[in-house]
Amino acid sequence: MARHSSTQPTEVEFEILSTLWEYGQATARQIHDAISENRETNYSTTVKMLAVMHEKSLVKRDDSVRPILFRAAASQKKTQKKLLKGVMQKVYDGSVGSLVMQALSSKKATKEELAEIRELVEKLEQEQK
């Protein structure tokens, strides 16, 4: 039975997306050089990963120029929100509270982060009134 391909990025695909979010757009060579700083990989593997990511609609490519330019299909923030919604649904039965409580208890937040969280909670409370 064929395995369904996921539209969710793998760890390597995240590295490629991170590079594209940082650069805006890049050639396969530029992407390969960037991810090669953190992992041992062949250029042909990077090109194959970009082809797979294009099929998954994770990246877009501009074939009108040479070398071909790649860019992320969605912004980092949009991608993070989509993935978080999936995790919240699958792991926390859709409970925002459970997800937030687990996140806050798993790693110590900085004073700045806690202030930002308080500000967001206050804003959300005001919107519900």
Predicted pLDDT at 2: 47
Task: Dump pLDDT digits (tens) for 67-85.
Answer: 999 999 999 999 999 999 9
Maximum Cα–Cα distance for the chain, whole Å? Answer: 56
C-alpha 107/C-alpha 29 separation (Å) is 37
C-alpha 13/C-alpha 21 separation (Å) is 12
C-alpha 8/C-alpha 17 separation (Å) is 12
Q: Could you tell me how many helices (H) and strands (E) the chain has, helices first?
A: 6, 3
Assess contact for 20 and 31: CB atoms under 8 A: yes
The crossing angle, in degrees rounded to 10, of helices 76-91 and 96-106 is 100
Burial letters 20-38, b for 16+ CB under 10 A, else e: beebebbbbebbbebbeee
Predicted pLDDT at 8: 82
* Averaged pLDDT in 10-residue chunks for the chain of 129 residues: 65 95 97 94 96 96 96 96 91 92 90 93 90
Predicted pLDDT at 129: 78
